[in-house]
Amino acid sequence: MAERSDRAPALWRRPLLRWLEGVEAGWAVPLLLVCFVAVWTLYLAVAYAGGGLHPDTLEAWTLGRNFAWGYLKHPPLMGWSAAAWTAVFPLSDWSLQLMAMANAGLALFFVDLVSRQFVSGHKRILVLLLLMLTPAYQFHAQRFNANAVLLAVWPLATWCFLRAFETRSTFWAVAAGCTTALAMVGKYYSVFLVASFAFAALAHPARRAYFTSASPWISVVTGLAVLSPHIHWLATTGASTFTYALTHANGNTVSSLSDVKNFLLGLLAAMSAAAIVWVLIAGTRLKQFPADFAAMSPGLRLLVYVSIGTIVLPVVTSLAMGTDLPSLWALQGLFLFVVPVVCGTGYPIERFYTVNLAVVTVVVAAAAVFIAAPIHAAYRNSQGYEEGRNFYAPAAIELTRQWRELTGEPLGAVSGDDSLAFATAFYSPDHPHYARPLAHQDEWGLPRKTTLHRGWAALCFRDQDDCGRWMEWVSSRAGNFVRREFTVQASLWGKSGLARDVVVLMVPPRANRDVSPESAAQDFSASKRSSD
């Protein structure tokens, strides 16, 4: 049936077949990726209408406001990326949602660079369509954080490594070193990718030719040179990112075994839809897999070794050190399994199947945008989010209004609950700076004296006991202050939703402190009575 369809396609198939013919002409893949980014950005805009950005995305933007070679909680790449994006695009929900999906589209473009090393024509499209059936490039990507930023960096580094191993040229050796360093400043989990490159090179039959050339050593020197500013930052600031990373290494054998099991099951679940589709495409030809594997090209075999390393090495490390191992940390490496499976087939894949998969992908995307997204938005408007995203923008705007009413000046610094503080920095028209170092986000410390002198505000949800106790502690040490409560309500397309109480603490600038502690206490009591 597939062969007949390719010889005499139905009328509705012909535009899609013309599109597939444009793969090698250079326009079919970019067209697919532009449509992918546009459709899934629309999905995010509808599904999260009235819901605010994810706290991880707001954190990335907050970090990037001050350029540094490292940050107290994360390596710097996600902050750099958000800063570069918002230097061009406006500060809005749609802008950062577009950033997240553009990162996913760029990731798929780099995956295609890997695929074209082994196949041509519509098989390249098939790889991308299968990956679009995984949650990595839509739902995982929308939480733009240290994990999501690796979606694009890992395939880029892999492509450069493959080229460096094959050509052993200085250019590709330098490129491999630069991109692996970029992966490391994305997230330290990338050490498993770097180690997998070394493992794959050692396991490959051409290892002697590679290691006796200058290529691997040029890559090592280049990578260390590119990493040197971050390494210097680590050495001079106390390596707080490592301290934060080591908080995940507090388990035991039992918990590690459970994490490893969930890690593997999570990756299998993420790949399940793509795997089912591939079984339907290959059919009885799956029995040729052992022969196809044995006949794999040297470059594809190298990629298989890399894929094995990215699974085995984290599992061994988790069991040995008792570390956490969420499957979310490895989603950026799913392409390492799809590319060898599709590109390693010794039999032709008819265009019939690629066209069918393209139609399925379009139907799924359309259902997501026009059915799932409005339902999700309406549900969250009435039920809310665990992190309180519905209230980020109204809380930020109300705090800014009250601050200006109290001081007559723009709000310059904010802290309190991290998510609310990040959101206030983003959604407030004053865009105050986050005032409490991220390394101490769980210690609930007092802001610096200079911050208090310039004026500062903090906010928490009323039902956050830890944050409330911290606010009481700060009130006893901050001098003159004003403490108030107000209620914010979610809203979606003119329909009111869930409501929640917010407590704010405002310390006016020193030059503007005409509020006595007694009047501040009365102000708080009055606002509390009005809110009750």
pLDDT in tens, 63-121: 899 898 988 788 999 999 999 999 999 999 999 999 999 999 999 999 999 999 999 99
- CA distance from start to end of the chain: 71
CB 516 within 8 A of CB 469: no
Q: What pLDDT does residue 403 have? A: 94
Q: What pLDDT does residue 438 have? A: 40
Paired residues of 499 in beta bridges:
489
Name residues of the chain where pLDDT drops below 50.
437-442, 515-532
Q: How far is CA 522 from CA 226, 461, 486, in A?
A: 57, 21, 16
Which residues, other chains included, contact 345 with Cβ-Cβ below 8 Å and sequence gap of 6+? Answer: 282, 285, 288, 292
Nearest to 111 by CA among 307, 347, 349, 298: 307
